Amino acid sequence: MKVNGLGANRPEFLSNKPKPINSTEKFGDMLSDFVKDVNKDQLRSNEMINEFLTGGDVELHEVMIAGEKAKTSLQLLTEIRNKAIDMYKELTRIS
């Protein structure tokens, strides 16, 4: 029986390999995709809450995880927006 090391089963985002950057993807497209993902997280959280309240096959911890994921992604989006506004204000002040 072969025994794999601890690093063999780690998730992809923990790997040391850098993710290739697609130079054709624009920042606006990335931001738009992120906004769509945040919206999906919010909608999924609401669906899970409704399903839990109506007695569906959803566990409480799954509802809480979905809610926290939606909250965290919205906070990240808000911070990105704030930094973009600060950057714009700084650039207009310099000009």
Kindly tell me if the per-residue pLDDT of 23 is higher than 80: no
**From CA 17, how far away is CA 59, in angstroms rounded?**
36
- Residue 84 is predicted with a pLDDT of 92
Q: What is the mean pLDDT of the chain?
A: 85
Query: Per residue in 1-21, pLDDT tens?
Result: 566 665 555 555 555 666 666
Torsion angle defined by CA atoms of residues 47, 52, 55 and 57, in that order, rounded to the nearest 10 degrees: 80
- Report the pLDDT value the prediction gives residue 95, as an integer from 0 to 100: 76
User: 40 falls in which pLDDT band (50, 70, 90)?
Assistant: very high
Percent of the chain with pLDDT over 90: 65
